[in-house]
Amino acid sequence: MSTIAVLGAGAWGTALAAVLARGGHRVTLCARRADHVAAMRARRENEFYLPGVALPETIDPSDRWAEAAGASEVVLMAVPSRFARAAMTPVGSVLASDATLISVIKGVEEDSLKTMTAMLAEVAPAVKRLAVLSGPSFAAEVAHGKPVAIVAAARDEAVSRGVQGLFASRTLRVYRSVDVDGVELAGAAKNVIAIAAGISDGLGLGSSARAALITRGLAELARLGLRAGARAETIYGLAGLGDLVLTCTGDLSRNRALGLRIGHGESVAGIAGIAPTTPSDHTGHPVAEGVSNARSIRRLAERMGVEMPIVAAVCRVLYEGAPANAMVEELLNRELKAEF
C-alpha cells in the first residue's frame, strides 16, 4: 500500500483517486476550497466535478496541499495546466527526494512553452522520479470501471514500470513508455484539434469533414512531435491517435463540447464561463484545456518551424474574432499539395 496525494479535485483527479483507493492505497484528495473539502467528506462524493461516484473510505479530502504532498510517496498533479505552476511551486520544496511525481494533465505552459513534466522538474528539483499518465480516457468512464487503456511514460523505464503497476487494475490497462515528450505533446495538441472537430460538427458539416479533421490533425501532431524528438509510434499509439479520436468524437469530451457551442453560434466570450479563471473558482464547470493550449501549441509550433494550420485556425476563432465558418473556409482554400 502506498501513501498518495492527488493535488487537484477535478473530475480526472477524483477518478484516479478512486482507482488508487480501490487498489488498496491510502489517498489524500486535495481541493482548494474548504467548502468543497467539507462537502466531499460529508457526502463521500465530489458532486462539483464527478457526481454519482462514491469516494472510498480510504480517500481523505483535504485542503492542506503541502502537508499531504510532503507525507506521500506518490504525488499526482491534477491541476489544469494554466494554474499548475502556481499551484505546484509552494508544494515542490516539501516533496521527498525519493517521491514519485506524476503529471496527469494534458497541457503546455503558455508563457514558458514547457511541458508539464519540464515545469515540475523546475519547481521540484529534488525529485528525480518524474512521470506522466495520458491516453484516451474520460474521467467518468474510468471512475465507473469501464475498460480503458492508457500510457505511463517516464524517461527512466524503472519509473514507468512503477507507475504502470500502481494504476493497473482489472478494468484499467496501463502500457509504459520512455517517450515523455511524445506523450505530453500529443496529449496537449489533440485538445485543440478536438475544438476544431466540435466546431465542424456544430456547423453540421458531417462525418466526412470530421474524419478529415482527425486525419489532418494527426498529421499536425506528428509534425510537432517528431520535430521535438518524439517517437512515431507514440504519435500513432494510445497517447496520440487514440486520445485524438476519443476527444474529437466522444460526447464526454470537454473540448469537442466547447467547439460544438461555437459551431452552433455561441460567442466565444459567452462561453468563457466554461473554464474557471483561477484555481479556486469552484463553479463546477470542467476545464477545456484546448482553450489555453491553442495559443501555447501555436507558439511552440512557430518556434520550432512546424506548420499546424488547424491549430492556427482554432486560435483565430478563439482569440482573433474569426467566425466559425471562416475556419473551415481557411482550411479548404489552402494551397493544393501532396498528402505526404
Alpha-carbon 213 to chain mean position: 20
- Angstrom distance (rounded) from CA 167 to CA 178: 17
- Angstrom distance (rounded) from CA 289 to CA 295: 11
Contacts of 20 (CB under 8 A, 6+ apart): 2, 4, 6, 27, 166, 167
Are 85 and 118 in contact, with CB atoms under 8 Å apart? no
Are 238 and 183 in contact, with CB atoms under 8 Å apart? no
Q: CA 7 → CA 4, 10, 92, 245, distances in Å?
A: 10, 9, 12, 28
Q: CA 329 → CA 78, 319, 333, distances in Å?
A: 37, 18, 6
**Which are the catalytic amino acids?**
190
- Angstrom distance (rounded) from CA 275 to CA 253: 14
C-alpha cell at 102: 506524476
Are 3 and 73 in contact, with CB atoms under 8 Å apart? yes
